Amino acid sequence: MGEDVTVNLSPQHPLAAGLTHDSRLVRAYRGLRSDTLPVWFMRQAGRSLPEYRELRVGTRMLDACLDPAMAAEITLQPVRRHGVDAGIFFSDIVVPLKLVGVDVEIQPGRGPVFGRAYADAAAVAELTAIDPARLDEAAGPITEAVQRTVAELATLTAPGAPTSTPLIGFAGAPFTLAAYLAEGGPSKDHLAARTLMHADPGAWRALMDWTAELTGRFLRTQVLAGASAAQLFDSWAGALSLADYEAHVAPASAAALTHVHDLTYETTDAAGDAGAHAVPVVHFGVGTGELLGAMKSVGVDVVGVDYRVPLDVAALRVGEGVPLQGNLDPALLAAPWPVLESAVREVIARGRTAPSHVFNLGHGVPPETDPNVLTRVVELVHEAGR
């Protein structure tokens, strides 16, 4: 994809059709504030909801992700229940790996487990012999799930919102995929990936180029099918030094996002917003307080901030004019309401230092969270964020 070539989204796409371009979420991602602060939660679709647990009985995680009707329903459940300003597509970062034939399953209580580790040059060569373009042929269930979700979201709005609720596409960043692959499963320190990075830079680059291509195609599939924004999630980048991130990881994240950067849509607006617009892109990482500026530099519109760094501090680190997303500590969802309310109001206040802000958690919703608490937080954010 050449830098000067753009691809217009279908006129029926929610952004191009005017259904989500002026939504609270998309406006915030474009650096604009609306009638109130938009809010959604990472992992809002999932184990904290009794309706999710009931639906998932007898179905393995990856099977649920690849069942279009089920994935759409799971994505929609928290939107209906909580009145959030966006749906986040129900998926998993290893779904694109599964679709191209990599041996991976998600084991309950452990996470993604691979048939083997890819921690040396020979193993990486075997893996990267798989053409990432195979994803395009195998992604039918993803396209259908997104289309089903978007069609239903067009009938749902957050309380007081004037437009359709947008869907956010989701994919794991190249480093996080590579960290799982090098280890063959979950790891606390990602030592295998960090070792490969330095012991065999050629193999590492090959692995990162491959994961970037694959996850970039996965994001693009979701946007073309109807997602109004894209989030690249780097679960494990916080294990890296700034120097290693910039030298060995950031180029791959930037390459992954080129698969979305060329997607544009046209609007006509009497208020002066007419013209071509790019699909907004968010980048979030866990434990990445020291990397925030570098994460912005890979080519994103919005930086997600985890709960370890106050938003006003994050605003200084990412630079002037950058919208922020975050960053309530998920642990506070189990605190007494006065404690939680105070923390929510503090996040909102600190977020005013950025040109725009999307309220979120500083990581995902814990499984044991009371869903009624999440609904109450949404109501508070909409009230306090006016």
43 is in an annotated binding site: yes
- Closest to 328 (Cα-Cα) out of 37, 57, 72: 37
- 319 among annotated binding-site residues: no
Q: What is the pLDDT of residues 267-318, one digit of tens each?
A: 876 555 778 999 999 999 999 999 999 999 999 999 999 999 999 999 999 9
pLDDT bin (cut points 50, 70, 90) of residue 131 is very high
Of the candidates 27, 30, 43, 350, the residue annotated as catalytic is 43
CB neighbour list of residue 198: distance below 8 Å, 6 or more residues apart: none
Q: What does the pLDDT read at residue 272?
A: 58
Write down the architecture of domain 7-384 according to CATH.
Alpha-Beta Barrel (3.20)
Q: What are phi and psi of 252, to 5 degrees?
A: -70, -40
From the candidates 92, 234, 301, 306, which is the catalytic residue? 92
Separation of alpha carbons 270 and 126, rounded Å: 55
Contacts of 11 (CB under 8 A, 6+ apart): 17
Indicate which residue of 29, 52, 118, 180 is catalytic.
180
129 is in an annotated binding site: no
- Is 44 known to sit in a ligand binding site? yes
Cis ω for the linkage preceding 360 (within 30 of 0): no
In which order are the strands placed within the sheet that holds 263-267?
A: 7-8, 263-267, 275-278
How many whole angstroms separate alpha carbon 223 and alpha carbon 226?
5
Domain ranges (residues) in the chain: 7-384
Check if 43 is active-site.
yes
pLDDT band at 188 (very low <50, low <70, confident <90, very high): confident
User: Region 24-47: what's the mean pLDDT?
Assistant: 96
Q: Is 143 exposed, middle or buried (0-12, 13-18, 19+ CB in 10 A)?
A: middle
| 228 labelled ligand-binding | no
DSSP count for the chain of H helices, then E strands: 17, 12
158 pLDDT more than 80: no
| Mean pLDDT value of segment 127-154 | 97
Which pLDDT score is estimated for 4?
Answer: 57
Q: At 159, is the pLDDT very low, low, confident or very high (cuts 50, 70, 90)?
A: confident
Buried b (16+ CB within 10 A) or exposed e, 346-356: ebbebbeebbb
Given the structure tokens 């437009």, which residue do they identify?
163
Catalytic residue from among 47, 80, 134, 308? 47
Give the pLDDT of residue 229.
98
Give pLDDT, residue 268: 77
Q: What is the pLDDT of residue 251?
A: 98
Mean pLDDT of the chain: 95
Active site residue 47: yes
Please tell me which residue in 56, 80, 134, 308 is annotated as part of the active site.
Answer: 56
- Residue 46 marked ligand-binding: yes
Closest CA to 46 of 279, 281, 302, 330: 330
Active site residue 116: no
Q: What is the pLDDT of residue 6?
A: 83
| CA 307/CA 365 separation, integer angstroms | 12
User: Taking a C-beta distance cutoff of 8 angstroms, is the pair 326, 304 a contact?
Assistant: yes
**Distance, CA of 375 to CA of 378 (rounded, Å):** 5
Residue 245 appears among annotated catalytic residues: no
Is residue 2 scored above 80 in pLDDT? no
Select from 302, 307, 330, 343 the least CA-distant residue to 26. Answer: 302
pLDDT band at 342 (very low <50, low <70, confident <90, very high): very high
Name the residue among 26, 13, 323, 324 with its Cα closest to residue 166: 26
Active site residue 376: no
Give the whole-angstrom CA distance, residue 304 versus residue 357: 10
